[in-house]
Amino acid sequence: MMILALGILILLYPLFSIPTLLKRKEKTGHFFAPDTRILVAKRENMGNNLNMQNKYAFFIDFIVGLSLVCYGLYTILH
């Protein structure tokens, strides 16, 4: 149950950032910023230390959250 809750919490951040990505696409023509850093310092206020404006960090966070949710559901149902 704890894994499912953790997966949902991790998955919420990329899902809530999708409207921001769409606004950036309209404004600049790109979904993600050209910044190649995956991890950024906490003092820059970017959430969970992943650079969510970077496509690799966004998908890492999304995949980890989704896999934890799937594993949590699997352990509850079996």
Tokens for 77, please give them: 């149902």
Q: What is the DSSP letter of 17?
A: T
**How far is CA 62 from its chain centroid?**
5
Neighbours of 27 (CB within 10 A): 8
Lowest mean pLDDT among 46-50, 55-59, 68-72: 46-50
List, in sequence order, every residue forming a beta bridge with 39; answer none if it has no partner. 50
Reply yes or no on whether the pLDDT at 44 is more than 60: no
d(CA 31, CA 47) in angstroms, rounded, equals 18
Q: Using the predicted structure, report yes or no on whether residue 76 has a pLDDT greater than 70.
A: yes
Taking the whole predicted model, whether its pTM rises above 0.85 is answered as: no
